[in-house]
Amino acid sequence: MQEGDTAPDFSAKDQNNNVVSLSDFKGKKVALYFYPKDNTTTCTVQACNLRDNFTKLNDLGIVVLGISVDNEKSHKKFETKFSLPFTLLADTDKKIVNEYGLWAQKKLWGREYMGTLRTTFLINETGKIEHIIEKVDSKNHAEQILKVWGITG
């Protein structure tokens, strides 16, 4: 996946067991953020930053969709525990992370394992990938999104 590509459409269940498709948001800006795991330190910091700035993002017409390989039940607990106001999608079969090229070998404390690369795709109203944020600043992620789209305030 690269900037300028059409974002691959997908359907997945959210934390409320509703099926959500990327194509449901045609005509809107979408911040599609992939994160490794619910209830882990950095993922929680990132989700809470998006929560704390959700009204601003929403007022500017930006839809926030989070995706991890956790299941719907895990997402529901994560949403409830941290009062997350946006959709979390379950990619338990790893189809979406693979399609977006984000299921990869990672290394932590000398141990190698397969996992999701923390990445955000900014998708414009026509469904094109306008920008890919690969170096996510979890504490300031909403600001990164707004800055890339040239929105301040």
Determine the angle formed by the axes of helices 141-148 and 41-52, rounding to 10 degrees.
60
DSSP β-ladder status, 62-68 and 87-90? parallel
Tokens for 96?
């979406």
Query: How confident is the model at residue 110, as a pLDDT?
Result: 85
Q: What is the pTM of this model?
A: 0.93
d(CA 132, CA 153): 22
Query: How confident is the model at residue 94, as a pLDDT?
Result: 97
3-state SS, residue 64: strand
pLDDT digits (tens, 9 = 90+) for 6-15: 999 999 999 9
> What domains are there in the chain, each with its CATH number?
30-148 (3.40.30.10)
pLDDT at 153 over 60: no
pLDDT at 152 over 70: no
pLDDT digits (tens, 9 = 90+) for 66-77: 999 999 999 999
Mean pLDDT value across residues 99-110 = 88
Q: Is 48 a catalytic residue?
A: no
d(CA 134, CA 148): 12
Could you say which of 7, 30, 43, 102 is catalytic? 43
pLDDT digits (tens, 9 = 90+) for 23-41: 999 999 999 999 999 999 9
CA distances to 31, 32, 102 from 148, in Å: 11, 14, 21
